[in-house]
Amino acid sequence: PLSFGLNCALGATQLRPYIAELARIADTHVSAHPNAGLPNEFGEYDETPETMAATLREFAESGFLNIVGGCCGTTPTHIRAIVKAVQDLPPRPIPAIEPPCRLAGLEPLNIGPDSLFINVGERTNVTGSAVFKRLIKAGDYNAALDVARQQVENGAQIIDINM
């Protein structure tokens, strides 16, 4: 892909952790187009051009960005301030990233050479768990789902589901 990026829904400050993670894992250009803060009770955006530009400069100084702009609430004054804030900084170099094992559920999970330990919940396996097998055979899928949920609540990062 040409670029991965995030825009809208959040102001620059709130967008930062997501852009930082994207910059860490993306082997392509990264873009950020935040709102001018979060909307106030009247649906208006109160973040000043100077504040937004300073925050986005920090993104660029941290090496997160190749493309930058704005979304809801940004004005031409905001865009000029952003340009002025980042124009002397180099774009993020595109890293050569070895693709790790990337898994996703409610939270992303990257497994790589630096992963010391991964907890695998194995109680959702009809071969290894008589209780789970009985629940599946009985069609009691809600109780079977509870078995999986309990494993996650007890620290499992991956669930081994074997039917």
The amino acid at residue 74 is T
Nearest to 56 by CA among 68, 71, 72: 68
pLDDT class for 116, splitting at 50, 70, 90?
confident
Segment 42-58, tens digit of pLDDT? 999 999 999 999 999 99
Q: How many CB atoms lie within 10 A of CB 124?
A: 23
pTM above the 0.95 mark?
A: no
Given pLDDT bands bounded at 50, 70 and 90, which one contains residue 112? confident
Tokens 């170099």 belong to residue: 93
What is each CA distance from 7 to 3, 63, 117, in whole angstroms?
13, 18, 34
pLDDT confidence bin for 108, thresholds 50/70/90: confident
Mean pLDDT (the chain) is 93
| Least confident interval from 5-9, 96-100, 121-125, 140-144 | 96-100
Q: Is the pLDDT of residue 105 over 80?
A: no
Q: Is 79 exposed, middle or buried (0-12, 13-18, 19+ CB in 10 A)?
A: middle
Domain ranges of the chain: 3-86, 101-159
CB-based burial label for 114 (10 Å; 0-12, 13-18, 19+)? exposed
* Per-residue model confidence (pLDDT) at position 109: 84
| 79-88 pLDDT per residue, tens | 999 999 999 9
Q: Is the CB of residue 14 less than 8 Å from the CB of residue 36?
A: no
The contacts of residue 135 (CB under 8 Å, 6+ apart) are: 141, 143, 144, 147
